[in-house]
Amino acid sequence: MKQSKNIYVWLLATNLFISAFTFGGGYIVVPMVRRFFVVKKQYFTEEDLINMAAIAQSTPGAIAINLSALAGYKVAGIMGVFISCFAAIIPPLVILGFVSAFYKIFISNIIIAAILKGMEAGVAALMVDLIVDMCSMILKKRSFFFSIMIPLSFIANFVLGINVALILLVCCFLCVLQVFYKKRKDK
Express each pLDDT in 104-122 by its tens digit: 777 788 888 788 788 788 8
For residues 76 and 94, what is the distance between their CA atoms, to the nearest angstrom?
A: 26
For residues 127 and 122, what is the distance between their CA atoms, to the nearest angstrom?
A: 9
Q: Give me the pLDDT at residue 104, please.
A: 79
For the chain, give the percent of residues with pLDDT over 70: 96
For residues 6 and 28, what is the distance between their CA atoms, to the nearest angstrom?
A: 26
Name the helix (H) or strand (E) containing 30. Answer: helix 29-33
Q: Give me the pLDDT at residue 90, please.
A: 92
Q: What is the pLDDT of residues 81-101, one digit of tens each?
A: 999 999 999 988 898 888 888
Q: Are 64 and 22 in contact (CB under 8 A)?
A: yes
For residues 54 and 48, what is the distance between their CA atoms, to the nearest angstrom?
A: 10
Mean pLDDT computed over 149-172: 89
Mean pLDDT computed over 59-65: 84
pTM (predicted TM-score)? 0.61
Using alpha carbons, list the distances in angstroms from residue 149 to 31, 93, 153, 158. Answer: 22, 38, 6, 14
Per the prediction, the chain carries an average pLDDT of 85
Of the pLDDT bands very low, low, confident and very high (cuts 50, 70, 90), residue 3 is low
Using alpha carbons, list the distances in angstroms from residue 151 to 46, 47, 86, 137, 156. Answer: 22, 21, 38, 15, 8
Q: Give me the pLDDT at residue 43, please.
A: 93
Q: Is the pLDDT of residue 1 over 50?
A: no
